[in-house]
């Protein structure tokens, strides 16, 4: 079950998990997260089963869509279907939205074969959960190349322009103008 947490509890999650789960190039520091959670109302959820924490996700509401900016399963509970359960709960919790958007590292830019395999597995996981890669769209942010994936409640052709607008809406809220202008969209 997803349990919403406040920033006070988030600090422990950050120290115990987030800094191990995401490289520094892909995550803000603790103060950056504080601004996002407190000022921009990003929501942080811990996933629990039988009162045991097993993973987490961070979500931003973009009106008709949500953006999952971080999702991870604790190392010791991976391979148990927890990621799929988290996505199902997100779908149910936000069933009033058109869909879910997320970013995944683009394996074409992996530094080595091991990294590439992990990134390809992550994409396959999301595809198995009915997410699609937004075709012909690459995003480069802080020297990291991403593919954008989307889950749409109603299966239809992906509106790439709408997805770009939602990504821009998200980053314009959390980044200063100088950093926002560093985002590159390649069609």
State phi, psi for 69 to the nearest 5 degrees.
-85, -25
107-150 tens-digit pLDDT: 999 999 999 999 999 999 999 999 999 999 999 987 889 999 99
State phi, psi for 58 to the nearest 5 degrees.
-125, 130
State phi, psi for 131 to the nearest 5 degrees.
-90, 150
The Cα–Cα gap between 58 and 102 comes to 11
Mean pLDDT of the chain: 94
Q: Which residues of the chain have pLDDT under 70?
A: none
Task: Determine how many CB atoms are found less than 10 A away from the CB of residue 66.
Answer: 24
Distance of CA 26 to the CA centre of its chain: 10
């Amino acid at each position: 079950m997803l349990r919403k947490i406040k920033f006070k509890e988030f600090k422990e999650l950050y120290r115990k998990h987030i800094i191990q789960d995401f490289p520094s190039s892909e995550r803000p520091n603790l103060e950056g997260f504080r601004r996002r959670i407190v000022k921009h109302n990003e929501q942080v959820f811990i996933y629990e089963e039988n009162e045991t924490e097993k993973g987490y996700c961070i979500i931003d509401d973009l009106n008709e869509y949500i953006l999952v900016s971080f999702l991870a399963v604790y190392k010791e509970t991976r391979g148990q279907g927890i990621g799929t359960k988290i996505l199902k709960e997100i779908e149910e919790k936000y069933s009033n939205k058109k869909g879910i958007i997320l970013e995944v590292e683009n394996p074409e830019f992996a530094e080595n074969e091991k990294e590439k395999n992990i990134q390809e597995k992550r994409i396959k996981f999301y595809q198995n959960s009915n997410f699609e890669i937004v075709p012909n769209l690459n995003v480069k942010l802080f020297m990291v190349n991403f593919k954008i994936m989307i889950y749409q409640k109603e299966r239809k052709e992906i509106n790439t322009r709408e997805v770009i607008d939602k990504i821009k809406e998200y980053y314009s809220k959390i980044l200063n103008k100088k950093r926002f202008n560093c985002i590159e969209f390649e069609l």
